[in-house]
Every structure is written in C-alpha cells, then in structure tokens.
Amino acid sequence: MYSTKTPKYRIEESDLKCKNGCNYYGNAAWQGYCSVCHRLQQRALEEERVNNLILTHECENISNIENEHRRLDKSKSKMTAFSRLRKLPNKDQEPKVLLKEPNTCTLSDFQNIEKDSTDLLCIINKTTIGNDVIKKITHFLNEIMEYKDSKRIEKLSDITQTFYQNFSKSMEENSIYKDVSIDIKEKLLDYVEKHSMTLLYSILFCPHYTNDEEKDLDIQKRIRQLNWVSGKNLECKIHETSVEVRELVYTSMMDLLNMDAAKAPQEKLACIIHCCSNIFLLLQQSVGGPASADEFLPALIFIVLKANPARLKSNINFITRFCNASRLMTGEGGYYFTNLCCAISFIECLTAESLNMTKSDFNAYMSGERVPANTWESALMICENLHLVCENITLLQELKIENNEILQQAIELKEDIITFHHRITDKTTAAIKKSPLIISKTKKVQMNLDLDNEACLKLPTPLIPNVNEHQYTSQIDYNSLTNQHNLNPVSKKEYSTPSPTFDFSLFEDNYKLESVKGDDNTSLISLDLHSNSINNEFQIPEETASINLLDDLQNNSENLPSPLKPSTSMQQDYHGFSIQGSTIPIIPCNTGDLLFNSNSEEISNNYPNYC
Amino acid sequence: MIDVTMANRGTAQRPNGTQGKICQFKLVLLGESAVGKSSLVLRFVKGQFHEYQESTIGAAFLTQTVCLDETTVKFEIWDTAGQERYHSLAPMYYRGAQAAIVVYDITNQDTFMRATTWVKELQRQASPSIVIALAGNKADLGNKRVVEFEEAQAYAEENGLLFMETSAKTAMNVNDIFLAIAKKLPKNEQAGNASTSGQGRRLVESEGQKPATGNCCK
C-alpha cells in the first residue's frame, strides 16, 4: 500500500554507464567499466601492481584477497574527489593510505560531499588548515584500518568519537585555526565526519561480527506483526482522511526510508530531521496549532510502524556509534534521533497496556486471529470499494436512462401502431362507406342486355308458344342458349353478373340495405319482381323484358292463354327449365347476404357511431 | 518582576562581549499530558498563547537564549510525551540533560502526584547535577485550585527543587522560572565540555561588542 511512492531516486543513469564515458553500460563486477574498458584497465593495473610491489615491499603480509582489494582500491582512489584534496599532504604518506583505503565508496558519493562543501573546500584548500585536516583524516583512517579486524565495534566507535573530540579540540587550540570562524569550524567538523564515514561505510555499517542484522530482522518482524496497530490505538491525532495530511504522511515515511540509502551518519540524521519536520507539519494541520511531544511521539511511532524502514536497527546503531556524540546529544537532530530511538524502544516493548487494550484482544490481534476493521489499510480498502460502488451506481444510472429511453421508444412505437391501425381502419371504413357492398337489381345488365340485344329485338317473339310440344321445347332451348350467349358480353363490361341469379346492383345508391335485408329469405325471382316494382328509375321496356325468361313467364302467364296451361307432357318438358330456375337463385343469394351481414356487423362493432 | 516582553527577545539581543560566553544547556520538560508543558515553552520562547503564528510548526523542540550578567545561557528545550504509556521512555530524553522542569496542573491532584514520581525518578536516574524545577501551571485558574501552593512549596523545599506557580496564559512566572534555572546552572569550564557528558559546549564569542545585559535580565 505504501509502495505507491517510490523512494528518492538515488542512482542516476550516468552512474550506470561505463566510467570511461564510452556510453556503454558499466558493471559493478568490472568496477563500473564496460567489458572493453575493463580489460584495458586491468592491463594497466597489472603493470602498476608490479611497480607497487617493488616500491612498498608490503605484499608478503597481505593475503591474496586483500591484495586484490588493495589493487582495486588504488585504482578507485585515483578517481575519487578526495584524492584531489589529498594531493596536499606529503607524497611519502600517500601511497600507504591509499593502499589501506577501503573500496567502499563510489565516485558519486564523493562528488556529493564535495558539492555540499564546495565553499568550505575552497577556503581550506592549499592552506595549512587543509594540510592539517588531511593529515588528521589519514591518521584516523589508518587507525580504523588497524583495528577493523579486531571485531570489536565498540573499539572502532571509541576511536571515531575520540577522533571527533580531538579534532574539535585541536581546532580550538591549534594556532592555525585561530582565524577560522566558528561556523567554518563546525562545517569542517561535519566535513571530516562525512568524508571519513562515507569512506569507511562498508567496514563500519552493520559489520558481520555484530548482531545488528539479527536485530534488524527482529524489529522488522515485530513491525509486521504490529501492522494492525492504527492511529487510534496509539491515540495519535493524524487526520488520515485529509488528503494533504496523507500526502505528508507518505512524504515523512519516504524520508524515513531514505535513511538507509544515505551513507554518512549526518546524512542519515538529516533524513530523520526531514521526516520529523514533516510530521510536525502534518500535526499542525491535524491539531490546528504547534504540536507538542504529546502528539509528536505517537505520530512518529505510527510513521515508523507504517513505513517499516529497512535495516532500522543497523542504521540507528551506526548513527549512535559513529555520529559525533555532541551532535547526537544536542540540537534538533539529537532531539529527533532520541524520539526515533524512543519510538523503536516503544515498538519493541509494546504490550497490551501500552495500547490501552485487554490482553486477550492484544493476543488475538498479534496472532492474526482477529483483523481489526479500523486500520489504515482497511480504511483505504473501504475507500476503494466505495469508489467502486460509486462507479457502479453511475453505470446503473446510465443503464437506467438507456432503459427508460428504450421504454419510451417502445411506447411511441405502440402509439404509432395504434394510430396506424386507426388510420387504416378509418381508411377502410371510409372506403367501405364510399363504396358499400349493395345488392341491387341487374338493371344495367338488363339495359345492356337490351342494348346489346338489338338483334334480339328483331327476333320474332319467342314467347309465342307453339302448339307443337316438340317445337316449344326446342324454342326454349334456343332461348336459354341465346341468353347464355348474351350474358357473356355483359360480364365483360364489368357490370354485375349477367346471370339472373346475380342481379345485385352494386352501384345503386338508392337501393337500401333494408330492402335487401327484408328480402333475405325471398327467392331471387320474387326479389326481382319486388325491386322492379319499387324502383322505377330503370324502366324495363316491355319488349326487352320479354326476353327475360322470368318476365316471359310472367307475361306469358298473363297474356298468353295457351302456354300457361300445359299438358302433363308439356309440364314434363318444362321441367328442365324449372330445375334451372329453382337451383340457381338459392346459392348466390345466401352467400351475398351472409357476406354483407358479417361485414356490416364488424363495422358496426368497430364504429358504433356508424349506424 | 521580569519583563514579559523578554520572551520575544531573540538571540540577536544576547550580550556580546569580549569575555562573554555562551553556555548551552539541555532542559527537559516532564509532566502529565495536558498540564501545559508546551504552552509554557511557547510562552517562553515565542511569547505566544493560543495565537500561533504560521512559522510555529512544533513546540516539541525549541531553543531560547537567556542573558545573565556575564554569560548567555542557551536553553535547548526538549518536550516529552506525557502519556503514562510513554513513561518508560523518559530516561532517553533526560539522559545528559542539565535541567528539568516538572510541570503539574494546580487544578488536578493527579498531575501533582505524577510530578512527584517524576522528581523521584530524576533524582534517582538522571545526572546528579541536574537542576530540577517544579512548576504549578494554570495558576490563572485559581478558583479551581486543588493543589495548594503551600503543599507544593513544602514538597519542593524538602527535595531541593526550584518551585513556582506559573501561568502560560498570563505569562506569570514563565520567564522567572527559566531564569531561576539559568542562574542555578553551573557555568564553569566543565559545563562547557561537550566531550564527556554532552553538557553545553562553551563557545567563545569572537565579536567584540559591548555587552547589553541590562536590557534582558533584571
């Protein structure tokens, strides 16, 4: 969770490149050179080594490994900024020191030190002070190297502290420093410390013969076990919900983590000071005024617990042993360092009482049986989940809107369908109204028939019965044939069917439905008669009517005396006609009625206003 | 009585003389939480009480310089967390301290009891030469007083402590108590030796200006 911020970038790309500046990447195994440069360097070193062996006569005492180290150290020290300063002391002493100098520091470390104290170096360089400083440092380094194999870190620490004391003492007492201001003296003391400690870092930091590493692992494990401890448990007043405060919490944790990357004890101390000033800043925002130690210590403990810095104990021990004691006892750095030590001590000795909780609760948390709900982590987790919930709610709202749109469109579509349906039914009713299905007399057929049958008119009246039975029959046959013959052209003219059975007048508006309905059950023959009598519009000429078989029959019955009273034999002859007359009218009449009735019913159902 | 405005005086007003010397002392503040330890220090160092300036971000570590006739005493004031749970860490703070102020709240009997335990602890564990002062804070709340002045004074005399009732709110006795400590502190050459016990380092003033002791210490 706290890895979101990366520690301060301490290795730059230029540090990774070959030291010869050939733009290839270097390798630590090749002393920071690329493979080609390293080989060249090796060759040059080999020559130098031979020369050195002759010059110093020290090789017998040094083991092979040390020999190797020495060789590398020498090449290294040539590159260091320190060596430039080192030009000042007498030349006889130099090689010996260089041989003993540990191969610990990189070029960049020295460049940083030099950069930090440029003005200081300008003042002391090429002066007697510079010479004295270098002499003292060299002496100190030699002393440390002498005792480094004694495996007694306390002894090394004592040597270092004595060196610091003697150095500051000599600055006060030695006549060559009498013109130097206090500020410069302080700076010089810092510089000496920084410089020598950076050089000796790998020898003095967490040496294998101490149990520093075990302690590091112990405290790390302890802090991991205590990951459930929240600000609330510690009664620390950090407003974890504020964004600014949280940023400062992260920054102060980063400062604390950076402590491990710094080399000189003073730099480490500076990291602690940074961290603590940030804690004060965040407490100022949380408390609303200058924070006191009552608020500061719990906050620092909280930060240490959440940051879980690497090699914490080693770093603390290194600072305690090798930082100038006067610096550690006084000043801001001393105060904050004491607080950090207190925080670590508190974490190490943390009990149920120190968190104001019962022993059973404490043990449950420590064993991992119970996971508290109020830790920083879970709070952030809840925040993340809440964020997710919010996102999902937004998504759901969007979907709801879309859904509503779809529903709206569906309703519109439904309305469209209804209006379309209405429009269609309106149109159909209008069309039906405009052109209703009406059963009428086939007057036009008759008229047409009449017209067409101009030739028929000229024909001699067929209704004059023949006495001869045989002649009569043949005449009727002929009539039926002529009728059939005449009907065909009529149907071609798209009028109502020419057959006497289909005499519905479709285009007769005057003809009422009622009249048709009323004659539902009447036969077509009677209907014809009836309509004929009612409707005078279409006068059927008597002459043409005579052609109609029915009319003929009527007329014949009225006017003609003889044929209406046929003999039994004649009746038999007539039988063929009557069959035809009786069968034909029934079929069309029923169908026509049924159709019309069902239609009108439907219409009246849909449009009650129609009637 | 001490001039209240003295609290605002910075290091610039310190007397500078050819023979003037600066003695730096570490002073720890002990006492139950909420007795007003940091208020006391803020009043002494910044002259503030509840009217904090932006620049004042912390009251846990502050320095203030007090002028005595021949010497300038620089106090380095280390505040400690007063909560009971941090009690065991206190020795780390008062290790190497030359002075300590044990603060209690005159309206709270418990804080006085805690103060007496602090005193006992200091006498037993701290450096033998440590100067201990007992401060009964919140003296402005006289109507709520629980710890009687006489009771506390008797206790202080018994144990050889400096004693004053103070009020960070009204600035009553705030500067006085620090001055009293400064006067009681040994300002000999040993005190200036930083090498052994971490006592205040003696720094020789190089500037040759006339001492101005009169305006700060009466």
The ipTM assigned to this model is: 0.81
Please state the length of chain A. 611
| Cβ neighbours for B207, distance < 8 A, ≥ 6 positions apart | B16
Range among A84-88, A316-320, A453-457 rated most confident: A316-320
Residue of A nearest to B46 (CA): A290
A294 contacts in B (CB within 8 Å)?
33-34, 37-38, 79, 81-83
More confident residue, A370 or A11: A370
**Does residue A428 carry a pLDDT above 80?**
yes
Residue A591 and residue A431: Cα distance in Å, rounded? 22
pLDDT of residue A129: 77
Residue of B nearest to A357 (CA): B85
The answer to whether A290 faces chain B, any CB pair under 8 Å, is yes
More confident residue, A270 or A493: A270
**Does residue B124 carry a pLDDT above 90?**
yes
pLDDT of residue A446: 55
More confident residue, A64 or B149: B149
Residue A119 and residue A85: Cα distance in Å, rounded? 14
**Does residue A213 carry a pLDDT above 70?**
yes
A180 contacts in B (CB within 8 Å)?
none
Mean pLDDT score of chain A: 71
Picking from B38, B81, B93, the nearest residue to A290 by CB comes out as B38
Give residue-wise pLDDT tens across range B157-213. Answer: 999 999 999 999 899 999 999 999 999 998 764 444 433 333 333 333 333 333 333
Residue of B nearest to A281 (CA): B57
Residue A570 and residue A552: Cα distance in Å, rounded? 17
pLDDT of residue A531: 46
Query: Which of helix, strand or coil describes residue A591?
Result: helix
pLDDT of residue A561: 54
Give residue-wise pLDDT tens across range A282-312. Answer: 998 888 888 889 999 999 999 999 999 989 9
More confident residue, A319 or A375: A319
* Residue A285 · residue A242 · CB < 8 Å: yes
**Does residue A379 carry a pLDDT above 90?**
no
The answer to whether B57 faces chain A, any CB pair under 8 Å, is yes
Mean pLDDT score of chain B: 78
Interchain contact, A292 vs B37, CB within 8 Å: yes
More confident residue, A350 or B13: A350
Residue A125 and residue A79: Cα distance in Å, rounded? 18
Interchain contact, B57 vs A298, CB within 8 Å: no
Give residue-wise pLDDT tens across range A218-276. Answer: 999 999 988 888 888 888 888 877 788 888 999 999 999 999 998 889 899 999 999 99
Interchain contact, A345 vs B83, CB within 8 Å: no
**Does residue A570 carry a pLDDT above 80?**
no
B33 contacts in A (CB within 8 Å)?
294
Backbone angles phi and psi of B66, in degrees to 5 = -120, 140
The answer to whether B76 faces chain A, any CB pair under 8 Å, is yes
How confident is the model over B136-161, as a mean pLDDT? 93
Picking from B26, B34, B93, the nearest residue to A330 by CB comes out as B26
Classify each residue of A122-132 as buried b or exposed e, where b means 16 or more C-beta atoms within 10 Å of its C-beta. Answer: ebbeeeebbbb
| Cβ neighbours for A317, distance < 8 A, ≥ 6 positions apart | A206, A210, A212, A215
**Does residue A83 carry a pLDDT above 70?**
no
> Per-residue confidence at B29, pLDDT binned at 50, 70, 90?
very high
Give residue-wise pLDDT tens across range A534-566. Answer: 444 444 444 444 444 554 445 544 555 555 555
Picking from A280, A326, A342, the nearest residue to B194 by CB comes out as A326
The answer to whether B194 faces chain A, any CB pair under 8 Å, is yes
Picking from A235, A291, A339, the nearest residue to B59 by CB comes out as A291
Picking from A182, A325, A355, the nearest residue to B206 by CB comes out as A182
How confident is the model over B59-76, as a mean pLDDT? 89
pLDDT of residue A88: 38
Radius of gyration in angstroms for the set of CA atoms belonging to chain A, rounded to a whole number: 62
Give residue-wise pLDDT tens across range B43-56. Answer: 999 887 877 666 77
Residue A71 and residue A67: Cα distance in Å, rounded? 6
pLDDT of residue A336: 94
Q: What H or E segment, with its residue span, contains residue B75?
A: strand B71-79
Residue A308 and residue A254: Cα distance in Å, rounded? 11
B56 contacts in A (CB within 8 Å)?
290
Which of A98-102, A167-171, A256-260 has the least mean pLDDT? A98-102
pLDDT of residue B214: 37
pLDDT of residue B106: 94
The one-letter code for the residue type at A213 is E
The answer to whether A338 faces chain B, any CB pair under 8 Å, is yes
Interchain contact, B85 vs A326, CB within 8 Å: no
* Residue A99 · residue A142 · CB < 8 Å: no
Q: pTM of the prediction?
A: 0.59
Which of A238-242, A443-447, A521-525 has the least mean pLDDT? A521-525
Which of A64-68, A409-413, A538-542, B21-25 has the least mean pLDDT? A64-68
Structure tokens at A573: 């002859």
How confident is the model over B132-137, as a mean pLDDT? 94
**Does residue A143 carry a pLDDT above 70?**
yes
Interchain contact, A335 vs B60, CB within 8 Å: yes
pLDDT of residue B194: 39
pLDDT of residue A404: 96
How confident is the model over A570-579, as a mean pLDDT? 50
pLDDT of residue B120: 94
Structure tokens at A42: 């090796």
pLDDT of residue B156: 94
Mutation test of the interface with chain B: which of A278, A285, A330, A362, choosing the one with the most B Cβ atoms within 10 A? Answer: A330
Residue of B nearest to A162 (CA): B195
Q: How far is B206 from chain A (nearest CA, A)?
A: 8
Backbone angles phi and psi of A6, in degrees to 5 = -85, 145
The answer to whether A357 faces chain B, any CB pair under 8 Å, is no
